A and B are shown apart, each in its own frame.
Chain A
Amino acid sequence: MKLTVWTYEGPPHVGAMRVATAMKGLHYVLHAPQGDTYADLLFTMIERRNHRPPVTYTTFQARDLGADTAMLFKTACRDAYDRFRPQAMIVGASCTAELIQDDPGGMAEAMELPVPVIALDLPSYQRKENFGADEALFQITRALARPVDRTERVSCNLIGPTALGFRHRDDVTELTRLLSDMGVDVNVVAPLEATPADIARLGAAHFNVLMYPETGESACRWMERELGLPFTRTVPIGVGATRDFVAEVAELTGLAPRLDTKRLRLPWYTASVDSTYLTGKRVFIFGDGTYVVSAARIARDEMGFEVVGMGCYNREQARAVRRVASDFGLSALITDDYLDVEAAIADLAPELILGTQMERHIGKRLGIPCAVISAPVHVQDFPARYSPQMGLEGANVIFDTWVHPLVMGLEEHLLHMFRDDFEFHDDAGASHHGGPAVPRSKAAPDPTPAVVDGAADPGTVIWLAEAESELRKVPFFVRGKARRNTEAFAHDRGQHEISVETLYEAKAHYAR
């Protein structure tokens, strides 16, 4: 057993739901107890879908346990087929049904429904949501895709976008445009908006674009083997990655690497003088492996930040993240326990966090600005406006999103100059963030994070009152770092007290 409060990923059948809900003409019959229908509202509320997910749950109850549950499953299958007339069905079990061992696959097969029925075996007690999505798409592809004649013009499939995917809707639009500029058509997007009939003609493409490895890689590998479709390895998030992606597509197709950068603004924005203050800002990156790898490159090479920590919650991407982290001279944090992430952030005291909904809350608690770069996300990250992460417009969106939570350059200087100003004091917060900051009592020390499990208390070092009040003059957005640097500096020198002088010696020591 493992005590869990927050979970970055749902169970694997939620991943399969993300594939089923993304598609059209496909129905999922899920053997599950009453109550598991809660997952519907992830789609109807967070993603604001205007239809019910195409999922029938058997919703068995205690009185059904025993032979009855198998009967329930068959009835649910039959009713779902009769009512929805899907082109294909997927069947499987949720974590509880896995324990009662009814074998949905075998039962559905014995029913001889007039459409393909694909059984999903999702180990609920070992794997998680992303695996469920990847496995579902792989099984659907394996069951339905067949070798077919290639399209006359060069075309590709976009593989991996699902329901509840972070910015998947707009990434598809952006990539379609980018490929069209090169003269590449999109044959099928899968699973998003694809029908089972579309899956059957995946093989007509010349190659696959693997948009999201965590939800599309198994299907791409199978298609490479069975249908002779090569797939792209670069995820085009960020300017450099987009250029590399274009080069990769050119190599795969023999077409010229055309990239129309008229719409691209990130390079100029990040070169303009107001961005100078971004130089060396310390950033911590956490989320889904694919986004973390992309974000690290953008942060260092395109924004001029210093990446001080990175990690991911999905083990499937651990190797890739570790490799990139070591390029950055870091060791990757691979964990699905948010307390570990919180401890790492508290310890590093970055000036910006790039993460998930969870890191947004950690940032709020520690008073560190945060921008969201990865699922899991809340309703505000399924925006009405066009906001891809991929391609050229994606780069523009990312620049705005990451810079917004930071105190703007000019304001930062004013805060330095007038740090004791009556209206610029800490509790006023940054002027463009809207809403008053939570007032803090003057007597209270600034909010250092509570000691988290396993984090050592640097209690061996005491702040003298004068040093403490001097520290309070340091602007709030760098104070956490100043506190830690000073404590580390004192600790290294075997000092047990921190005076004003120690504070400034440390400042000089760490000057950059």
Chain B
Amino acid sequence: MTGRVPSCAEIPVLRQRGQREVFCGLTSIIWLHRKMQDAFFLVVGSRTCAHLLQSAAGVMIFAEPRFGTAVLEETDLAGMADAQDEIDREVERLLSRRTDIRRLFLVGSCPSEVIKLDLSKAAERLSRKYAPQVRVLNFSGSGIETTFTEGEDACLAAMVPDLPETDDRQLLMVGALPDVVQDQALSLLDQLGIGPVTVLPSMRADDSVGVGANTVVAITQPFLGETCAALERRGARHIAATFPFGEVGTTAWLRAIADEFGLSDALFERVTEAPRARARSAVARASEVLRDRSVFFFPDSQLEIPLARFLTTECGMRAVEIGAPYIHRQLVGPDLAMIPEGPVLSEGQDVDLQLDRARAARADLTVCGLGLANPLEAEGLTTKWAIELVFTPVHFYEQAGDLAGLFARPLRRRDMLRVAAE
């Protein structure tokens, strides 16, 4: 690179406070309970919490899910003294019915946080009672404290103090990924001769994940700031890198790890050459329709900055606004530095004012949540609903084409349909 182009890392951030159209952290239970196969997530909350999980889980709710809500009733609100007894009773019933549970998370919600229900005390007490068979932990997924994917951050951060101490030189890969993607990542690291590699969250309680001064941390999701900080407090060191989206992002992520472990360029090239070529050509094909088109991101999951980096540097798109619920500079700094200045960078939201900006910009593609997507489509904007980017395998080389395809599909569809909606 000659003559540095000014990037989004230097621009001022637009911060507005007002109505926010986002999920709360409880939503992350939907994918966390699939990743941790022996865990149960018990939300202590209201009917609203149960209704949210049901609405977000769609049909998964019928697959005997390993999550539920202990719905607070009038009596729980009237006398705080018996709330701990109530939790004990519900947990006892739950664990006697589901003997396969090894990890139980007591998940705080807005109502439980507002009435200051001490779930950490409950978790300690229950852990003593059910050890060693079941480990009971606590985190908050409340809307007043967490936004959408921050629920995963809170959950993983709660697990960190509990990890055994280890002095082994190891790479800890952090973030819940679809199994197929995680296997690809581990296979690439293995081919590079990097090891041992452990993963947080682990699939089962028995999988040994330790942490200590010789641990280096590679993070796969941009929303894991608290978890990163908790690992650093345990002596681990974070490897800063762009996130593994697209060919460029994946290569830079792997490169940072390879440098940390002192690998030769020749080995790195040999291992990554074929998948890089595959990813490049898949992205090129899938992003034909994206080239020179504009994109506007509403805040949702904190994936916005790395994804905007992918769309602008690998798919030829132009970002108009990149909105994120929270910008964790330590984690997304490398991605921000690759995005040429031009777009507005916004943190937080006043949704009506942001909608005014989106309408004025009329971007070719507006990335937003499901509460906004159909209304904006009805106004003639083409949208990509953001939640899919969290639920779909999108990381690393083999998914690079699919990732571009997710953004291309709404535009291709708009070009195909010959009947206009009234």
Quick check: which of B142-150, B193-201, B407-415 contacts chain A, the rest being far away?
A: B142-150
Query: Chain A at the B interface: mostly helix, strand, loop or mixed?
Result: mixed
* Contact for B114 among A14, A100, A126, CB less than 8 A: A100
List, in ascending order, chain A residues with CB within 8 A of B18's CB. 76, 79
Q: Is the CB of A37 within 8 A of B62?
A: no
Contacts A37-B21, A95-B48, A124-B47 given: A2-B143 contact, CB under 8 Å?
no
Q: Is the CB of A125 within 8 A of B73?
A: yes
Q: Is the CB of B77 within 8 A of A125?
A: yes
- Please tell me if A141 contacts chain B, counting CB pairs below 8 Å: no
- Please tell me if A59 contacts chain B, counting CB pairs below 8 Å: yes
Q: Is the CB of A11 within 8 A of B87?
A: no
- Please tell me if A103 contacts chain B, counting CB pairs below 8 Å: no
Q: How far is the CB of A362 from chain B (nearest CB, A)?
A: 8
List, in ascending order, chain A residues with CB within 8 A of B65's CB. 5
List, in ascending order, chain B residues with CB within 8 A of A280's CB. none
Q: Is the CB of B68 within 8 A of A3?
A: yes
List, in ascending order, chain A residues with CB within 8 A of B97's CB. 453
Contact with A along B26-56 (1 / 0, CB 8 A): 1100000000000000101011101110111
Q: Is the CB of A52 within 8 A of B371?
A: yes
Quick check: which of A41-49, A488-496, A503-511 contacts chain B, the rest being far away?
A: A41-49
- Please tell me if B370 contacts chain A, counting CB pairs below 8 Å: yes
Q: Is the CB of B352 within 8 A of A62?
A: no
Q: How far is the CA of A4 from the CA of B90 in the complex (A)?
A: 11
Q: How far is the CB of A91 from chain B (nearest CB, A)?
A: 15
Contact with B along A298-320 (1 / 0, CB 8 A): 00000000000000000000000
Q: In the complex, which residues 55-83 of chain B have their Cβ closer than 8 Å to any Cβ of chain A? A: 55-56, 59, 61-62, 65, 67-74, 76-77, 83
Q: Which of A34, A42, A364 has the most CB of B within 10 A?
A: A34
Contact with B along A1-44 (1 / 0, CB 8 A): 11111110111011000000000000000000111111111101
Q: How far is the CB of A190 from chain B (nearest CB, A)?
A: 24
List, in ascending order, chain B residues with CB within 8 A of A60's CB. 144
- Please tell me if A61 contacts chain B, counting CB pairs below 8 Å: yes
Q: Is the CB of A49 within 8 A of B374?
A: yes
List, in ascending order, chain A residues with CB within 8 A of B369's CB. 41
Q: Is the CB of B62 within 8 A of A365?
A: yes
Q: Is the CB of B61 within 8 A of A96?
A: no
Q: Is the CB of B68 within 8 A of A52?
A: no
Contact with A along B120-157 (1 / 0, CB 8 A): 00000000000000000000001111010000000000
Q: Is the CB of B375 within 8 A of A50?
A: yes
Residue of chain A at shortest CB distance from B115: A99
Q: How far is the CB of A375 from chain B (nearest CB, A)?
A: 13
Q: How far is the CB of A484 from chain B (nearest CB, A)?
A: 23
- Please tell me if A384 contacts chain B, counting CB pairs below 8 Å: no
Q: Is the CB of A41 within 8 A of B378?
A: no
- Please tell me if B110 contacts chain A, counting CB pairs below 8 Å: yes
Contact with B along A224-257 (1 / 0, CB 8 A): 0000000000000000000000000000000000
Q: Is the CB of A7 within 8 A of B50?
A: yes
Q: Is the CB of A7 within 8 A of B51?
A: yes
Q: Is the CB of B370 within 8 A of A45?
A: yes
Contact with B along A54-83 (1 / 0, CB 8 A): 001111111011000000000010010001
Q: In the complex, which residues 188-247 of chain B have their Cβ closer than 8 Å to any Cβ of chain A? A: none
List, in ascending order, chain A residues with CB within 8 A of B46's CB. 11, 95-96, 124-125
Q: Is the CB of B70 within 8 A of A44?
A: no
* Contact for A1 among B56, B87, B115, CB less than 8 A: B87
Q: Is the CB of B110 within 8 A of A33?
A: yes
Q: Is the CB of A36 within 8 A of B375?
A: no
Contacts A2-B70, A58-B19 given: A83-B352 contact, CB under 8 Å?
yes
Q: Is the CB of A42 within 8 A of B55?
A: yes
Contacts A7-B51, A33-B142, A99-B111 given: A59-B378 contact, CB under 8 Å?
no
List, in ascending order, chain A residues with CB within 8 A of B113's CB. 62
Residue of chain B at shortest CB distance from A83: B352
Contacts A35-B22, A45-B370, A50-B378 given: A1-B86 contact, CB under 8 Å?
yes
Q: How far is the CA of A35 from the CA of B73 in the complex (A)?
A: 21
Q: How far is the CA of A4 from the CA of B375 in the complex (A)?
A: 32
Chain B interface residue count, Cβ-Cβ cutoff 8 angstroms: 64
Residue of chain B at shortest CB distance from A46: B55
Q: How far is the CA of A361 from the CA of B18 in the complex (A)?
A: 40
Contacts A3-B68, A35-B52, A56-B19 given: A10-B47 contact, CB under 8 Å?
yes
Residue of chain A at shortest CB distance from B78: A125
Residue of chain B at shortest CB distance from A95: B46
List, in ascending order, chain B residues with CB within 8 A of A37's CB. 19-22, 371
* Contact for B23 among A38, A64, A124, A126, CB less than 8 A: A38
Q: How far is the CB of A335 from chain B (nearest CB, A)?
A: 15
Q: How far is the CB of A73 from chain B (nearest CB, A)?
A: 12
List, in ascending order, chain A residues with CB within 8 A of B76's CB. 1
Q: Which of B46, B97, B110, B370 has the most CB of A within 10 A?
A: B110
Q: How far is the CA of A128 from the CA of B73 in the complex (A)?
A: 12
Q: How far is the CA of A290 from the CA of B287 in the complex (A)?
A: 52
Q: Is the CB of A52 within 8 A of B50?
A: no
Q: Is the CB of A41 within 8 A of B73?
A: no
* Contact for B48 among A11, A41, A49, A83, CB less than 8 A: A11
* Contact for A50 among B71, B74, B377, CB less than 8 A: B377
Contacts A3-B94, A4-B68, A62-B113 given: A34-B144 contact, CB under 8 Å?
yes
Q: How far is the CA of A37 from the CA of B70 in the complex (A)?
A: 21
Q: How far is the CB of A97 from chain B (nearest CB, A)?
A: 9
Residue of chain B at shortest CB distance from A376: B54
Q: Is the CB of B147 within 8 A of A41?
A: no
Q: How far is the CB of B109 from chain A (nearest CB, A)?
A: 8
Q: How far is the CA of A405 from the CA of B307 in the complex (A)?
A: 45
Residue of chain A at shortest CB distance from B325: A34
Q: Can you spell out 14 A-B residue pairs with CB atoms less than 8 angstroms apart?
A: A5-B61, A11-B46, A35-B22, A35-B23, A37-B22, A41-B55, A56-B19, A57-B19, A60-B144, A65-B114, A79-B352, A83-B352, A96-B144, A125-B73
In the complex, besides A36-B48, A99-B111, 4 extra interface pairs with C-beta distance below 8 angstroms are A38-B24, A40-B370, A65-B114, A125-B74
**What is A's interface to B at a CB cutoff of 8 Å?**
1-7, 9-11, 13-14, 33-42, 44-45, 48-52, 56-62, 64-65, 76, 79, 83, 94-96, 99-100, 124-126, 128, 358, 361, 364-365, 453
**What is B's interface to A at a CB cutoff of 8 Å?**
18-27, 42, 44, 46-48, 50-52, 54-56, 59, 61-62, 65, 67-74, 76-77, 83, 86-87, 89-90, 93-94, 97, 110-111, 113-115, 142-145, 147, 352, 369-375, 377-378, 421
The list of the 5 closest CB pairs from A to B, nearest first, reads: A35-B24, A35-B143, A40-B371, A50-B378, A96-B110
